Homo-oligomer: A and B are copies of this chain.
Amino acid sequence: MNQKRSEENIHKTFKKEIFEFFENEPYAKFLGIKLLELGEGTATAEIEVEAHMLNSHGTAHGAVIFALADFVFAAACNSYGKTSVGLSTTVNFMAAGRASAKLKAVASEEKKNNRTAWYNIRVESEGELIAVMEALAYRKSGYFVPVEEMEKPIPESL
């Protein structure tokens, strides 16, 4: 069994814990965001635009679109068990999200360095692209999953 503490193996070993970590995120639960998929540097989630999520013009509040995009960004950049936080996010709003519509967001990883990683997030509603987020994460040195439980790699010389 490969126990090497690579990012890939940490993700595989703790995928269930990381998934639950984000499923139980207080603000996402409060809004009713559902995490659908979690992979290495990727995440997909959706939300239904309810009446209390509208702006005064009667469409989905930009901050709800952001919340969904930010959620998959956070799940994707934390998918390796390494505590990561958002440094900078740019959102371009392309179309309004309608009341009662379902919004879906997908985050994909553009690049991952030691301390920094970049993600592109697309938000769609009823097949139409309504927003794109470009996001930069800072990767801290600690882990929020018990990586110390993983055996250290067996030295090759044995």
Chain A residues within 8 Å of B, Cβ to Cβ: 21-22, 24-27, 29-30, 51-57, 61-64, 66-67, 70-71, 74, 78, 83, 85-96, 110-111, 113, 116, 118, 120, 129, 132, 134, 136, 138, 144
Q: State whether A52 and B66 are in contact (beta carbons under 8 Å apart), knowing that A87-B92, A88-B93 are contacts in the complex.
A: no
A-B contact pairs, 20 of them (CB 8 A): A21-B56, A24-B56, A26-B54, A27-B52, A27-B63, A29-B52, A62-B86, A63-B66, A66-B67, A66-B89, A86-B93, A87-B136, A92-B134, A92-B136, A94-B111, A94-B118, A95-B113, A120-B132, A132-B134, A134-B134
Helix, strand, loop or mixed for chain A's interface? mixed
Question: How many copies of the polypeptide does the oligomer hold?
Answer: 4
In the complex, the answer to whether A52 meets B30 with C-beta atoms within 8 Å is yes
